[in-house]
Amino acid sequence: MTQAQERRIDHSRAPYAEALRRHAEHDPLMFMVPGHAATASGMSRELADFVGERALRHDIPQLVDGIDAGRDSPLEQAVALAADAWGARRAWFLANGSSQGNRMAVIGVGTGAAGGAVVAQRSAHSSFLDGLVVTGLTPEWVFPEYDSRHGLNHGLTPAALAAGFERAAAAGERPCAAYVISPSYFGAVSDIAGLAEVAHAHGVPLIVDAAWGAHFGFHDELPAFPASVGADIVVTSTHKMGGSLGQSAMLLLAEGPFADRLDPALERAYNLTQTTSASSLLLGSLDIARRSLVLETERIGESVALAERLRALVRSHPQLTLVSDEFANYASVATADPLRVSIGLSRSSCSGYEMRAELARTHDILLEIATSSAVVAFLGPGKELDVERLFAAISEVLGRPAGRAAAHSPLRLPSPGPRRMTPREAYFADTEVVPAAESVGRVSADALAAYPPGIPNIAPGEEITAEAVAFLREVAASPIGFVRGAIDSVVDAFRVVV
């Protein structure tokens, strides 16, 4: 093993972040971008007050000798350490979130597969649809299991994925990949090994959107990271549960039967999607987050213990339930993320929307998301969050005098309309905007997804149904409802193909 290779696997180092620190300590005179010139003087005083003078000193452009330029640069070393930490053949540091990773993944598998299809979980993020638009690939949708009591979706079983491949074959489509989401927003983890076996049996790689699972594999009480159990491409939002700065993420390529072909294809996709002005702060935070996850496993265990304490408190309350206690009822759920605590409110007269809003308004406590009948608390790995305070606040809200509106019943998800065009054809077609009432029967040019639960209800190229229009408008009218991709906040109009 060469000295450079030995240095690459020393996880006590954060080579890129350390190089940024050395650069800042030299206090160089910068006649270059960014315009703040890494100083807090002059017009940069207010910016320095906002983000801190050290952040300005670490915020430098790309292609600087001794930082990211040349062979075996500190940035290359940091990326190699990340690949090793997550058990991958190769890693890419992303400055545009896992949205960029999803686009990269689809472009990568679509290289050389013109006219092919992706057998995909319907709860895919909108960035997955972006990849379909860019490549011209066709989706063969597979719907995840749905918890109608709490208004949330889980994952796919291997049998459901296999059925998707069978439908694709019957339609004369040539799949080039399978795409699944695990863990779910609510902590449900799928059988990745079984799903990979199905995909590989059909001769294609498995893409796993693990946006919420960057911490997986770094403690014995956490689920395995998908790259270690058969996934070929893993997209993860390191900022979500890995501890890096917002917007930073990674794409990881595992060793496997498709790695030699995917490696150069993903590199090309990276060059197509990554900004040429990637923030050194974001990239440096990825380096530091990796080191922390590898070296501070005891702190991760402490967070797991805190989450377990919160679950015990929730179970002790007569009006609360734990969504994860019902995961055994769903065949698609193989295990659960212990740092995700989804709290059911179906026994109370308080909706998830109201609970989340009241905790923020009267207790200064922010939760990740709410559905009609649940709220979700995330415990970042290594964070010492006050779960007793959270439980006391929830109990206080539930103990207020009656008079609130009854909890909302979860909405029934609409069935998708028939596909009339590929997403790419619909996106680039001549379009017009029509009132909601006139959109039924027309072909959508946009992707629209109601949050929660975030499943695309209409994809580009699909026929708009009356059921979908009513559903989207009802979600938009709910207290925290949001329809991603809608032209207006109340979904009064749709963009359709002429």
Across 56-65, 262-271, 299-308, least confident range: 56-65
pLDDT at residue 151 greater than cutoff 80: no
Question: Confidence class of residue 1 from pLDDT cuts 50, 70 and 90?
Answer: very low
**DSSP structure class, residue 411:** P
Q: What is the pLDDT of residues 416-429, one digit of tens each?
A: 899 999 999 999 99
Q: Give me the mean pLDDT over the 158-174 stretch.
A: 96
3 state DSSP class of 386: coil
Which amino acid, residue 476?
A
Give the pairing type, strands 374-378 and 340-344: antiparallel
The CA distances from residue 266 to 78, 110, 184, 258, in Å, are 19, 10, 25, 12
Of residues 478 and 458, more confidence is placed in 458
State the pLDDT at residue 8.
64
Angle between helical axes of 280-295 and 15-26 (0-180°, round to 10): 130
- Tell me the domains of the chain and their CATH numbers: 74-294 (3.40.640.10), 297-398 (3.90.1150.10), 423-497 (3.90.100.10)
Q: What is the mean pLDDT of residues 216-244?
A: 97
Q: How many residues does the chain have?
A: 498
Phi, psi of 391 (to 5 degrees): -65, -40
| pLDDT above 60 for 405 | no
Question: Average pLDDT, stretch 365-390?
Answer: 93
As beta bridge partners, residue 142 has 121
Task: Supply the pLDDT for residue 435.
Answer: 97
pLDDT score at 25: 87
Over range 226-250, report the average pLDDT.
97
Q: Could you tell me which of 394, 362, 397, 363 has the C-alpha nearest to residue 377?
A: 394
Quote the Cα angle for 431-433-436, to 5°.
Answer: 130
pLDDT per position as a tens digit, 309-341? 999 999 999 999 999 999 999 999 999 999 999
Average pLDDT on 219-243 reads 97
Give the bridge partners for 118, in sequence order.
Answer: 139, 177
Predicted confidence (pLDDT) at residue 6 exceeds the cutoff of 60: no
Residues 139 and 137: their CA atoms lie apart, in Å, by 7
Residue 475 scores a pLDDT above 70: yes
**Mean pLDDT calculated for residue range 107-121:** 91
Place of tokens 């922010």: 366
81 by Cβ neighbours in 10 Å (0-12 / 13-18 / 19+) ranks as buried
The predicted model gives 260-287 an average pLDDT of 96
Q: What is the pLDDT of residue 26?
A: 85
Beta strand ranges found along 4-142 (DSSP E): 90-94, 117-121, 138-142
pLDDT at 3: 46
Q: Binning pLDDT at 50, 70 and 90, where does residue 65 land?
A: confident
Q: Is the pLDDT of residue 371 over 90?
A: no
Distance CA 175, CA 157 (A): 18
Q: What percent of the chain has pLDDT over 70?
A: 95
Q: How far apart are CA 413 and CA 471, in angstroms?
A: 7
Residue 412 confidence (pLDDT) above 80: no
The predicted model gives 15-19 an average pLDDT of 94
Across residues 346-372, what is the average pLDDT? 92
Q: Is the pLDDT of residue 381 over 60?
A: yes
pLDDT tens-digit map of 393-402: 999 999 988 6
The pLDDT of 3-27, averaged and rounded, is 83
Q: Which of 93, 132, 350, 71 is nearest to 235 (CA)?
A: 93
Phi-psi region of 32 (alpha: psi -120 to 50; beta: other; left: phi over 0): beta
Residue 408 has a pLDDT of: 56
Identify the residue with better confidence: 368 or 119. 119
Which of residues 35 and 364 earns the better pLDDT score? 364
Whether the pLDDT of residue 31 is over 90: the answer is: no
Measure the CA angle with vertex 190, ends 270 and 332; round to 5°: 135
- Summarize the confidence of residues 64-89 as an average pLDDT: 94
Question: In whole angstroms, what separates CA 38 from the centre of its chain?
Answer: 32
Place of tokens 């059909």: 202
Interior angle at CA 257, CA 251 and CA 259, nearest 5: 35
Give me 202's structure tokens: 């059909």
Average pLDDT taken over every residue of the chain = 92
Instruction: With a cut of 80, say whether residue 2 has pLDDT above it.
Output: no
Residue located via tokens 């207010």: 46
